[in-house]
Amino acid sequence: MLVRIPGMVDPHTHLRDLDWSHKATFASETAAAVAGGYWAVFDMPNTPPTTISRAALDTKLAAISREAVCDWGVYAGASQADNTTEYATMASDVCGLKIFNNSTTGDLLLDDQSIRDRHYAAWPDSKIIAVHAEEDTVLDILALVRQYRKRTHFLHICTAREVGYLQAAKEEGLPVTVGVCPHHLYLTEDDERTLGAFGLMKPGLKTAADRDALWQAITSGVVDVVESDHAPHTREEKQSARPPYGVPGLETTLPLLLLAVSEGRLTLERVVELVATNPRRIWRLTCPPETYTLVDTNADYVIERDRLLTQCGWSPFEGMRVKGKVRETWIRGCKVYDGERVLVEPGFGRNLFGQSA
Ligand code: DOR
Ligand code: ZN
Protein backbone atom coordinates (compact mmCIF):
# COMPACT_ATOMS: atom_id res chain seq x y z
CA MET A 1 0.00 0.00 0.00
CA LEU A 2 1.36 3.43 -0.96
CA VAL A 3 0.89 5.86 1.94
CA ARG A 4 1.34 9.63 1.73
CA ILE A 5 2.89 11.26 4.82
CA PRO A 6 2.96 15.07 4.80
CA GLY A 7 6.09 16.99 5.88
CA MET A 8 8.26 14.65 7.97
CA VAL A 9 10.62 16.45 10.36
CA ASP A 10 13.55 15.05 12.37
CA PRO A 11 14.33 17.66 15.04
CA HIS A 12 17.41 15.82 16.35
CA THR A 13 20.34 15.21 14.01
CA HIS A 14 24.09 15.78 14.05
CA LEU A 15 24.88 16.43 10.39
CA ARG A 16 28.63 17.17 10.96
CA ASP A 17 30.45 18.95 8.09
CA LEU A 18 32.65 21.97 9.01
CA ASP A 19 35.66 20.63 10.98
CA TRP A 20 34.09 17.15 11.00
CA SER A 21 33.43 16.78 7.29
CA HIS A 22 35.53 13.58 7.32
CA LYS A 23 32.61 12.04 9.27
CA ALA A 24 29.81 13.44 7.09
CA THR A 25 28.71 16.59 5.27
CA PHE A 26 25.54 18.66 5.01
CA ALA A 27 25.24 17.38 1.44
CA SER A 28 25.66 13.70 2.34
CA GLU A 29 23.44 13.71 5.42
CA THR A 30 20.60 15.77 3.92
CA ALA A 31 20.69 13.24 1.05
CA ALA A 32 20.29 10.53 3.70
CA ALA A 33 17.41 12.59 5.14
CA VAL A 34 15.40 12.69 1.91
CA ALA A 35 16.12 8.99 1.37
CA GLY A 36 14.65 8.49 4.83
CA GLY A 37 11.54 10.44 3.75
CA TYR A 38 12.27 13.71 5.56
CA TRP A 39 11.19 17.18 4.51
CA ALA A 40 13.40 18.82 7.16
CA VAL A 41 16.12 18.07 9.69
CA PHE A 42 17.46 20.17 12.56
CA ASP A 43 21.19 20.17 13.21
CA MET A 44 22.77 20.06 16.67
CA PRO A 45 25.49 22.55 17.71
CA ASN A 46 28.25 20.21 18.99
CA THR A 47 30.21 19.92 15.74
CA PRO A 48 33.38 22.03 15.86
CA PRO A 49 33.43 24.98 15.54
CA THR A 50 30.53 24.67 18.00
CA THR A 51 27.50 26.86 17.28
CA ILE A 52 27.81 29.04 20.38
CA SER A 53 28.31 32.49 18.83
CA ARG A 54 26.81 34.56 16.03
CA ALA A 55 30.07 34.18 14.09
CA ALA A 56 30.02 30.37 14.38
CA LEU A 57 26.36 30.36 13.46
CA ASP A 58 27.10 32.41 10.32
CA THR A 59 29.80 29.91 9.32
CA LYS A 60 27.34 27.03 9.69
CA LEU A 61 24.48 28.87 7.95
CA ALA A 62 26.70 29.65 4.96
CA ALA A 63 27.82 26.02 4.57
CA ILE A 64 24.45 24.34 5.11
CA SER A 65 22.71 26.86 2.79
CA ARG A 66 25.14 25.88 0.02
CA GLU A 67 24.84 22.13 0.52
CA ALA A 68 21.46 21.01 1.87
CA VAL A 69 19.02 19.11 -0.36
CA CYS A 70 16.18 19.21 2.20
CA ASP A 71 14.83 22.02 4.38
CA TRP A 72 16.56 22.53 7.70
CA GLY A 73 17.00 24.29 11.00
CA VAL A 74 20.05 24.66 13.21
CA TYR A 75 20.31 24.94 16.98
CA ALA A 76 22.28 27.47 18.97
CA GLY A 77 24.36 25.79 21.68
CA ALA A 78 24.71 26.72 25.33
CA SER A 79 28.29 26.95 26.53
CA GLN A 80 29.59 26.62 30.09
CA ALA A 81 31.81 29.61 29.34
CA ASP A 82 28.96 32.12 29.31
CA ASN A 83 27.74 32.81 25.76
CA THR A 84 24.31 34.18 26.72
CA THR A 85 25.12 37.64 25.37
CA GLU A 86 25.10 36.05 21.90
CA TYR A 87 21.55 34.78 22.22
CA ALA A 88 19.71 37.94 21.20
CA THR A 89 21.42 37.95 17.81
CA MET A 90 21.26 34.17 17.28
CA ALA A 91 17.66 33.38 18.19
CA SER A 92 16.07 34.78 15.04
CA ASP A 93 17.89 32.34 12.75
CA VAL A 94 17.77 29.09 14.73
CA CYS A 95 15.19 26.42 15.56
CA GLY A 96 16.00 26.56 19.26
CA LEU A 97 18.67 26.34 21.96
CA LYS A 98 20.35 23.02 22.75
CA ILE A 99 21.66 22.42 26.24
CA PHE A 100 23.82 19.35 26.90
CA ASN A 101 23.41 18.57 30.59
CA ASN A 102 25.27 15.25 30.62
CA SER A 103 28.57 14.47 28.94
CA THR A 104 28.68 13.22 25.35
CA THR A 105 30.45 13.83 22.01
CA GLY A 106 31.97 17.33 21.91
CA ASP A 107 32.61 19.79 24.72
CA LEU A 108 29.27 21.54 25.31
CA LEU A 109 28.52 20.25 28.80
CA LEU A 110 26.65 22.35 31.38
CA ASP A 111 26.89 20.44 34.64
CA ASP A 112 26.32 23.30 37.06
CA GLN A 113 22.71 24.17 37.89
CA SER A 114 23.40 27.88 38.49
CA ILE A 115 24.94 28.13 35.01
CA ARG A 116 21.98 26.28 33.48
CA ASP A 117 19.74 28.76 35.28
CA ARG A 118 21.55 31.66 33.62
CA HIS A 119 20.97 30.15 30.17
CA TYR A 120 17.29 29.48 30.86
CA ALA A 121 16.84 33.07 32.00
CA ALA A 122 18.63 34.51 28.97
CA TRP A 123 17.07 32.48 26.14
CA PRO A 124 14.16 34.33 24.45
CA ASP A 125 10.68 32.86 24.90
CA SER A 126 10.05 32.73 21.17
CA LYS A 127 12.12 29.60 20.52
CA ILE A 128 12.14 26.21 22.18
CA ILE A 129 14.89 24.81 24.42
CA ALA A 130 15.94 21.22 23.61
CA VAL A 131 17.77 19.37 26.37
CA HIS A 132 19.99 16.34 26.74
CA ALA A 133 19.15 15.31 30.31
CA GLU A 134 19.55 11.81 31.70
CA GLU A 135 17.93 10.31 34.79
CA ASP A 136 17.91 12.74 37.76
CA THR A 137 19.20 15.55 35.55
CA VAL A 138 15.65 15.52 34.12
CA LEU A 139 14.49 16.74 37.54
CA ASP A 140 17.09 19.55 37.52
CA ILE A 141 15.78 20.75 34.16
CA LEU A 142 12.13 20.39 35.21
CA ALA A 143 12.89 22.75 38.11
CA LEU A 144 14.02 25.38 35.57
CA VAL A 145 10.96 24.77 33.36
CA ARG A 146 8.75 25.24 36.44
CA GLN A 147 10.54 28.49 37.28
CA TYR A 148 10.83 30.06 33.83
CA ARG A 149 7.88 28.37 32.02
CA LYS A 150 9.98 28.12 28.85
CA ARG A 151 8.96 25.47 26.32
CA THR A 152 11.37 22.56 26.65
CA HIS A 153 11.80 19.44 24.51
CA PHE A 154 13.42 16.48 26.28
CA LEU A 155 15.55 14.65 23.72
CA HIS A 156 16.20 10.89 23.61
CA ILE A 157 14.25 9.91 26.73
CA CYS A 158 15.08 6.25 27.32
CA THR A 159 14.38 4.92 30.82
CA ALA A 160 11.21 4.03 32.69
CA ARG A 161 12.22 6.48 35.42
CA GLU A 162 12.62 9.37 32.96
CA VAL A 163 9.23 8.54 31.41
CA GLY A 164 7.70 8.71 34.90
CA TYR A 165 9.24 12.14 35.57
CA LEU A 166 7.95 13.51 32.29
CA GLN A 167 4.50 12.01 32.61
CA ALA A 168 4.21 13.77 35.98
CA ALA A 169 5.53 17.02 34.46
CA LYS A 170 2.88 16.89 31.74
CA GLU A 171 0.18 16.20 34.33
CA GLU A 172 1.44 19.22 36.25
CA GLY A 173 0.90 21.29 33.10
CA LEU A 174 4.55 22.17 32.44
CA PRO A 175 5.32 23.11 28.81
CA VAL A 176 7.35 19.98 28.04
CA THR A 177 7.53 17.59 25.10
CA VAL A 178 9.26 14.23 24.81
CA GLY A 179 11.37 12.62 22.09
CA VAL A 180 12.53 8.99 21.91
CA CYS A 181 14.98 7.32 19.51
CA PRO A 182 14.59 4.15 17.42
CA HIS A 183 17.76 2.60 18.88
CA HIS A 184 16.27 2.76 22.37
CA LEU A 185 13.02 1.27 21.03
CA TYR A 186 14.66 -1.64 19.21
CA LEU A 187 17.95 -2.37 20.98
CA THR A 188 18.91 -3.06 24.59
CA GLU A 189 22.17 -3.27 26.51
CA ASP A 190 22.31 -6.98 25.56
CA ASP A 191 22.90 -5.92 21.94
CA GLU A 192 26.15 -4.21 22.92
CA ARG A 193 27.77 -7.65 22.99
CA THR A 194 27.25 -8.16 19.26
CA LEU A 195 27.37 -4.52 18.17
CA GLY A 196 30.42 -3.47 20.20
CA ALA A 197 31.18 0.22 19.60
CA PHE A 198 28.54 0.32 16.84
CA GLY A 199 25.99 0.09 19.65
CA LEU A 200 27.59 2.89 21.66
CA MET A 201 25.68 6.17 21.98
CA LYS A 202 24.65 8.70 24.63
CA PRO A 203 22.37 8.02 26.37
CA GLY A 204 23.42 4.38 26.06
CA LEU A 205 21.28 1.30 25.43
CA LYS A 206 19.12 0.37 28.42
CA THR A 207 17.31 -2.67 29.81
CA ALA A 208 14.42 -4.55 28.19
CA ALA A 209 12.14 -3.10 30.91
CA ASP A 210 13.18 0.43 29.92
CA ARG A 211 12.58 -0.36 26.26
CA ASP A 212 9.12 -1.70 27.08
CA ALA A 213 8.35 1.46 29.08
CA LEU A 214 9.15 3.55 25.99
CA TRP A 215 6.72 1.60 23.80
CA GLN A 216 4.12 1.98 26.53
CA ALA A 217 4.81 5.73 26.68
CA ILE A 218 4.27 5.94 22.91
CA THR A 219 0.90 4.27 23.29
CA SER A 220 -0.14 6.35 26.29
CA GLY A 221 0.79 9.65 24.62
CA VAL A 222 3.67 10.70 26.90
CA VAL A 223 5.98 10.53 23.86
CA ASP A 224 5.48 13.28 21.27
CA VAL A 225 8.26 12.63 18.76
CA VAL A 226 10.41 9.82 17.42
CA GLU A 227 13.74 11.46 16.50
CA SER A 228 16.78 9.69 15.10
CA ASP A 229 19.67 11.39 16.99
CA HIS A 230 21.47 10.71 13.70
CA ALA A 231 25.15 10.93 14.72
CA PRO A 232 27.50 9.57 12.06
CA HIS A 233 31.07 8.59 12.95
CA THR A 234 33.43 6.77 10.59
CA ARG A 235 33.86 3.01 10.86
CA GLU A 236 37.55 3.57 11.65
CA GLU A 237 36.66 5.85 14.56
CA LYS A 238 34.14 3.34 15.87
CA GLN A 239 36.74 0.56 15.68
CA SER A 240 39.43 2.62 17.43
CA ALA A 241 40.60 2.21 21.02
CA ARG A 242 38.41 5.13 22.16
CA PRO A 243 35.28 4.99 20.01
CA PRO A 244 33.03 8.08 19.94
CA TYR A 245 29.36 7.95 20.94
CA GLY A 246 26.63 8.04 18.30
CA VAL A 247 24.85 6.04 15.59
CA PRO A 248 23.26 7.07 12.28
CA GLY A 249 19.47 6.81 11.97
CA LEU A 250 17.91 9.04 9.32
CA GLU A 251 17.36 6.21 6.83
CA THR A 252 16.10 3.63 9.29
CA THR A 253 13.63 5.50 11.53
CA LEU A 254 10.56 5.31 9.30
CA PRO A 255 10.97 1.64 8.24
CA LEU A 256 11.55 0.64 11.88
CA LEU A 257 8.32 2.37 12.92
CA LEU A 258 6.42 0.85 10.00
CA LEU A 259 7.73 -2.56 11.05
CA ALA A 260 6.02 -1.95 14.39
CA VAL A 261 2.82 -1.04 12.50
CA SER A 262 2.99 -4.28 10.52
CA GLU A 263 3.38 -6.17 13.80
CA GLY A 264 0.31 -4.44 15.25
CA ARG A 265 2.31 -2.58 17.92
CA LEU A 266 1.52 0.88 16.60
CA THR A 267 -1.03 2.46 14.29
CA LEU A 268 -0.05 4.21 11.09
CA GLU A 269 -1.82 7.34 12.35
CA ARG A 270 0.38 7.38 15.45
CA VAL A 271 3.53 7.04 13.32
CA VAL A 272 2.47 10.07 11.25
CA GLU A 273 1.99 12.06 14.48
CA LEU A 274 5.40 11.02 15.83
CA VAL A 275 7.48 11.82 12.74
CA ALA A 276 5.51 14.64 11.13
CA THR A 277 2.46 16.27 12.78
CA ASN A 278 3.91 16.59 16.28
CA PRO A 279 7.38 17.92 15.39
CA ARG A 280 5.70 20.47 13.07
CA ARG A 281 3.37 21.53 15.90
CA ILE A 282 6.12 21.73 18.52
CA TRP A 283 8.42 23.80 16.28
CA ARG A 284 5.45 25.83 14.96
CA LEU A 285 5.93 24.96 11.31
CA THR A 286 3.39 24.87 8.54
CA CYS A 287 3.83 22.13 5.99
CA PRO A 288 4.40 23.79 2.59
CA PRO A 289 2.14 22.69 -0.29
CA GLU A 290 3.20 19.51 -2.11
CA THR A 291 5.61 18.44 0.63
CA TYR A 292 5.20 14.77 1.45
CA THR A 293 6.66 11.28 1.40
CA LEU A 294 5.26 8.32 -0.48
CA VAL A 295 6.10 5.13 1.36
CA ASP A 296 5.23 1.57 0.36
CA THR A 297 4.15 0.05 3.67
CA ASN A 298 4.09 -3.49 2.23
CA ALA A 299 7.65 -3.53 0.90
CA ASP A 300 10.05 -5.26 3.25
CA TYR A 301 13.81 -5.33 2.91
CA VAL A 302 16.97 -5.99 4.86
CA ILE A 303 19.01 -2.98 6.02
CA GLU A 304 22.37 -3.12 4.24
CA ARG A 305 25.24 -0.68 4.56
CA ASP A 306 25.86 -0.49 0.80
CA ARG A 307 22.38 0.91 0.22
CA LEU A 308 22.70 3.75 2.75
CA LEU A 309 23.42 7.31 1.61
CA THR A 310 24.88 8.46 4.94
CA GLN A 311 28.59 9.08 4.50
CA CYS A 312 29.47 6.89 7.48
CA GLY A 313 28.23 3.82 5.59
CA TRP A 314 27.03 1.66 8.48
CA SER A 315 24.01 1.17 10.71
CA PRO A 316 23.44 -0.54 14.06
CA PHE A 317 20.43 -2.16 12.36
CA GLU A 318 22.34 -3.86 9.52
CA GLY A 319 20.88 -7.27 8.74
CA MET A 320 17.49 -6.44 10.22
CA ARG A 321 14.40 -6.98 8.05
CA VAL A 322 12.21 -3.88 8.14
CA LYS A 323 8.98 -2.84 6.53
CA GLY A 324 8.25 0.26 4.47
CA LYS A 325 10.23 1.59 1.55
CA VAL A 326 10.38 5.30 0.74
CA ARG A 327 9.40 5.58 -2.96
CA GLU A 328 9.33 9.36 -3.36
CA THR A 329 10.07 12.45 -1.28
CA TRP A 330 8.56 15.76 -2.40
CA ILE A 331 9.49 19.20 -1.04
CA ARG A 332 7.64 22.37 -2.11
CA GLY A 333 6.34 20.76 -5.29
CA CYS A 334 9.68 19.30 -6.31
CA LYS A 335 10.44 15.57 -6.33
CA VAL A 336 13.73 15.46 -4.42
CA TYR A 337 14.13 11.65 -4.14
CA ASP A 338 12.81 8.90 -6.40
CA GLY A 339 13.43 5.84 -4.26
CA GLU A 340 17.04 5.49 -5.40
CA ARG A 341 18.58 8.83 -6.20
CA VAL A 342 18.52 12.43 -5.00
CA LEU A 343 17.11 14.61 -7.78
CA VAL A 344 17.95 18.15 -6.65
CA GLU A 345 21.18 20.09 -6.44
CA PRO A 346 22.93 21.03 -3.19
CA GLY A 347 21.50 24.35 -2.01
CA PHE A 348 17.87 23.40 -2.71
CA GLY A 349 17.10 23.29 1.03
CA ARG A 350 15.81 26.32 2.96
CA ASN A 351 16.23 27.49 6.54
CA LEU A 352 12.77 27.11 8.10
CA PHE A 353 13.65 29.54 10.88
CA GLY A 354 15.84 32.15 9.20
CA GLN A 355 14.84 35.72 8.64
CA SER A 356 14.74 34.77 4.97
CA ALA A 357 12.49 31.76 5.69
O1 DOR B 1 25.51 9.40 20.98
C2 DOR B 1 25.52 10.60 20.84
N3 DOR B 1 26.19 11.17 19.82
N4 DOR B 1 24.88 11.38 21.73
C5 DOR B 1 25.01 12.71 21.71
O6 DOR B 1 24.43 13.35 22.57
C7 DOR B 1 25.88 13.37 20.71
C8 DOR B 1 26.06 12.53 19.52
C9 DOR B 1 27.19 12.96 18.61
O10 DOR B 1 27.31 14.14 18.30
O11 DOR B 1 27.96 12.09 18.17
ZN1 ZN C 1 21.98 14.04 19.86
Rounded percentage of the chain residues whose pLDDT exceeds 70:
99
Architecture of domain 2-337: Alpha-Beta Barrel (3.20)
Give mean pLDDT, residues 43-69.
98
Taking the CB of residue 259, how many other CB atoms lie within 10 A of it? 21
DSSP annotation of 50: P
Ligand in closest contact with the CA of 312: 1
pLDDT at residue 357 tops 80? no
**320 CB contacts (<8 Å, ≥6 apart)?**
186, 302, 303
Q: Is 245 in the pocket of ligand 1 (CB under 6 A)?
A: yes
Question: 96 φ, ψ to 5°?
Answer: 165, -175
Q: Which of 228, 337, 324, 183 is nearest to 9 (CA)?
A: 228
Q: Which atom of ligand 1 is nearest to the CA of 244?
A: 11
The dihedral sign for the CA sequence 57, 62, 67, 68: positive
Q: Which residues of 186-208 are buried (b: 16+ CB within 10 A; e: fewer)?
A: bbbeeeeeebebbbbbbbebbee
User: What mean pLDDT value characterizes the chain?
Assistant: 97
Bond prior to 175 in cis (omega within 30° of 0): no
Question: 80 φ, ψ to 5°?
Answer: -60, -40
What is the pLDDT confidence band of residue 173, given thresholds at 50, 70 and 90? very high
CA distance 269 to 218: 12
Q: How many A from CA of 33 to the centre of ligand 2?
A: 15
CA distance 78 to 138: 17
CA distance 318 to 169: 37
Ligand in closest contact with the CA of 10: 2
Task: Output the residue whose Cα is nearest ligand 1's atom 2.
Answer: 246
What is the pLDDT confidence band of residue 103, given thresholds at 50, 70 and 90? confident
Ligand in closest contact with the CA of 245: 1
Summarised one tens digit per residue, pLDDT across range 214-264 is 999 999 999 999 999 999 999 999 999 999 999 999 999 999 999 999 999
Q: Is 204 in the pocket of ligand 1 (CB under 6 A)?
A: no
Task: Output the residue whose Cα is nearest ligand 1's atom 7.
Answer: 105
